[in-house]
Amino acid sequence: MDQSKRKDLKIAFDMTFMQLGWSTWMIGIVLLLFVGLQVFTDFKLVLNDEEAAFQGFIHFIENPYKIFMLVVGILSAPKFLSWFVKTGVTRKDYFTGAAIASAALSAIFMIIALIIAGIEQLIAPVDFVTFLGEGASWFLIFIVYTLNIFVYYLAGWLIGAGYYRFDGWGLLFYIIGALVLIFMMDLLWSNELETPLHRLLSLQAPENLSIFISFGISFVFIALSLWVIRATTKRVRVKL
C-alpha cells in the first residue's frame, strides 16, 4: 500500500509540473496583454465594461485559466492514462494522481494570480471587486476561484474519459454532462450570468444563497464527476 501511495504522489507531482510547464506561455501572454492594456490603452474602453476594468488581474485571467484547464482535462485520459499504464501504473493510481494534480494545479494558478494581483495593488491601488462582492476576503476569493477552475478541469476530464472509452453517441452524453457541470457551477457562484444558455433560459443566480449551500452543492457535483470518471476509466482498454 505504501508503494501504491508513493506512486500516486509521484504521478501527481509529475502531472502537476508537466501541466504547469505547459501553462507558462499562457500566463506570460495574458500578463503581458494585461500590462499592455493597463499602460497603453484606456482599459475601460477596451473591455467596454467599466466595472470589469476594476476587477483586476484575477478577473482578467479567469477565463484563460478555465479554457486552459478544460483543454488539459480533455487531454488527461488520452495522453496520460496510456503513458502511465504502459509504464506499469495501475488505472487507480493514475486516477488518484491525476485528481490530486488537477487540484494542486488549480491552487497554484490562483496563488500566481493573487501574487500578481497583490503587486498590482501595490503599484496602482484600486477598489478590488470580484463577483463575490467588495467585502470578500482574499482567502475566500482564493478558495472559490480555485474551486471553479478545478471544475473546468473535471469537465474536460469527463469529455476526455468519454472520448477514450466511447465513440459516437456515448461521447455525446459525457459532453452533455460536462456542460451541465459547468452550467451549475456558474449558476451557484456567478451573480451575473451572461452565457448564451443562461440568457436563453432567462436564468438568474439565486439571491442570498448561503455560501455554505453553494460549497455543499459544488462538492456534490465534484464528487459525482469524479465517480463517473473513475467508473469510466476503471476497466477501460488502454490504447497502446
Number of Cβ atoms within 10 Å of the Cβ of 225: 20
- pLDDT computed for residue 212 by the predictor: 80
The pLDDT score that the predictor gives to residue 182 is: 92
- Please, are residues 139 and 176 in contact by the beta-carbon 8 Å criterion? no
- Give the cell for residue 29: 501572454
pLDDT at 126: 63
Residue appearing with cell numbers 476526455: 160
Helix segments in 41-89, DSSP class H: 43-47, 50-53, 56-75, 82-86
Give the start-to-end residue ranges of the domains of the chain. 2-233
pLDDT at 240: 65
DSSP H or E stretch at residue 204: none
SS3 130: strand
Residue from 52, 211, 229, 202 nearest 137 by CA: 211
Q: How far apart are CA 85 and CA 98, in angstroms?
A: 13
* The pLDDT of residue 209: 57
pLDDT for res 140: 81
Task: Give the CA distances from residue 67 to residues 11, 23, 82, in Å, rounded to whole numbers and listed in that order.
Answer: 23, 11, 23
Residue ranges of the chain whose pLDDT lies below 50: 1, 4, 45-46, 49-54, 192-203, 205
